[in-house]
Amino acid sequence: MTCILLLISGPISGIHASHVTADTLQTQATPSGITGRTDGIIHKGQPKKQIPGNGQAYQIAQGITVSGNQGSPEWIFTADETAIPNTTFTVYVCGIGNSYVIYTITVYGAGTYVLDASQYGSFNQGLSLEAPEEQPATVSGSVRVHYVDEAGRPIAAVENLETLSWLEGEPAPQYQTLNTPLYRESITYNGERYKLDTSLIPSNANGFYLPNQTITITYVYKRPVSAKLKGDVIVHYVDEHGKNIANDQRLSTLSWFVGETAPAYHTLDTPLYQEKINYEGKVYELDVNKLPSNANGFYLANQTLSVTYIYKLRAIPENPEEASDVPRAKEDSLPEAKADTSKLLDNSYTKEKLPKTGEKSTSNIISLIGSGILLALYCMIRRTQ
């Protein structure tokens, strides 16, 4: 029964880039502690790994594979550029009578080695080998999420998930984009609203990282035909009977996209909030018990919101400025009347009103005096007669 056994020891380099036959000068005719029959099938006390002679290449170390065909005494060792330098293989060939012959192969560079054991009567029935314990390699993976329109043009920045690492042979970590902030139902780009095309949700939206690869996830969006809504807000100022006492105030007409939250508006804590209003000479005060419930709020799609402030008439003005336009009560005229009477007691006022010399009142006095003199002369003449 013929067989080949392989032990690997030491670090691996690249094998020479040429077709090289194993160096048979390093052979030893000893079983090296391996016991039992060796026919390509693993038995107790034999190496732990079996390579069948089916022509398929099997990896036996980093960057190195071995293959062989049943019935052929040749085993082919192939190394690529990733092989670790200066790795030595010790191959145990079982010849006629179950005697062992040892071959040593050192890998120096990328290439192929051929072990031909035909001169020892060894015909391939499979290869058993015991590879040295190796630390598993660390691998890593990444995930990128793209957002594009129907023509494949980007409409948002690419999102990168955390790059993760794990040991080769371990299960790869899982990633998710559905039901996370990465899943965006709509995107605003250049003033237009794009909506996610749910019929084109990527099949790899959730999945597992791939070793040493970057997974690309692409969400596709389309623009709605009718995308914009608009709304208005008007502020009214009325008395307790609903009569307007100031001009209405209109807020800016605002527009927004379908699916977006409507814009907010404010009238409280703004110039639109007026505590007092002067109307037709009367002062009105805001009724704070009747503040409108919609004084602050959100625009309504394609509607006009009315915000109404209610005021009540003030009974007594607080200061002269406010009273200037308000009609006076009857008693308000009394101080003015007293002021006019006081003028009659003022000497300067009296002097202004007396007739000046030469005026008609003076001539009347002179006439009376003359008449008196004439009357006296008349009486004296009557006595002398």
Q: Are residues 186 and 121 in the same domain?
A: no
Question: Is 329 domain-assigned?
Answer: no
Q: Are residues 66 and 81 in the same domain?
A: yes
Q: Are residues 144 and 209 in the same domain?
A: yes
Question: Is 176 domain-assigned?
Answer: yes
Question: Is 337 domain-assigned?
Answer: no
Q: Are residues 209 and 255 in the same domain?
A: no
Question: Is 347 domain-assigned?
Answer: no
Question: Is 334 domain-assigned?
Answer: no
Rounded to an integer, what is the distance from CA 191 to the centroid of its chain? 17
Q: Are residues 46 and 108 in the same domain?
A: yes
Identify whether the C-beta of residue 272 lies closer than 8 Å to the C-beta of residue 249.
yes
User: Which residues are within 8 A (CB) of 74 and not within 5 positions of it... i.e. 6 or more apart?
Assistant: 68, 114, 115, 116, 117, 118, 124
Q: Are residues 235 and 193 in the same domain?
A: no
Of 130, 155, 174, the residue at which a domain comes to its end is 130
Q: pLDDT (tens digit, 9 = 90+) per residue, 302-349? A: 999 999 999 999 876 555 555 444 333 334 433 333 333 333 334 444
Domain encompassing residue 144 = 138-222
Phi/psi class of residue 98: alpha, beta or left (left: φ > 0; alpha: ψ in -120 to 50)?
Answer: left
Of 177, 207, 222, the residue at which a domain comes to its end is 222
Q: Indicate which CATH number applies to the domain containing 216.
A: 3.10.20
Rounded Cα distance between 236 and 251, Å, is 12
* Segments of the chain with pLDDT less than 50: 1-2, 8-46, 48, 125, 131-132, 323-354, 357-359
Q: Indicate which CATH number applies to the domain containing 307.
A: 3.10.20.320
Q: Are residues 19 and 124 in the same domain?
A: yes
Q: Which of 176, 143, 145 is nearest to 159 (CA)?
A: 145
Question: Is 110 domain-assigned?
Answer: yes
Question: Is 291 domain-assigned?
Answer: yes
Identify whether the C-beta of residue 87 lies closer than 8 Å to the C-beta of residue 12.
yes
**pLDDT value at residue 128:** 56
Rounded Cα distance between 55 and 44, Å, is 26
Q: Are residues 211 and 238 in the same domain?
A: no
Report the number of secondary-structure helices (H) and strands (E) in the chain.
4, 26
Q: Are residues 7 and 107 in the same domain?
A: yes
Q: Are residues 105 and 15 in the same domain?
A: yes
**pLDDT value at residue 49:** 53
Question: Is 326 domain-assigned?
Answer: no
Of 320, 340, 365, the residue at which a domain comes to its end is 320
Q: Are residues 175 and 239 in the same domain?
A: no
Q: Are residues 77 and 168 in the same domain?
A: no
Taken in order 370, 372, 375, 379, is the CA torsion positive or negative?
negative
| Domain count across the chain | 4
User: What H or E segment, with its residue span, contains residue 107?
Assistant: strand 100-107
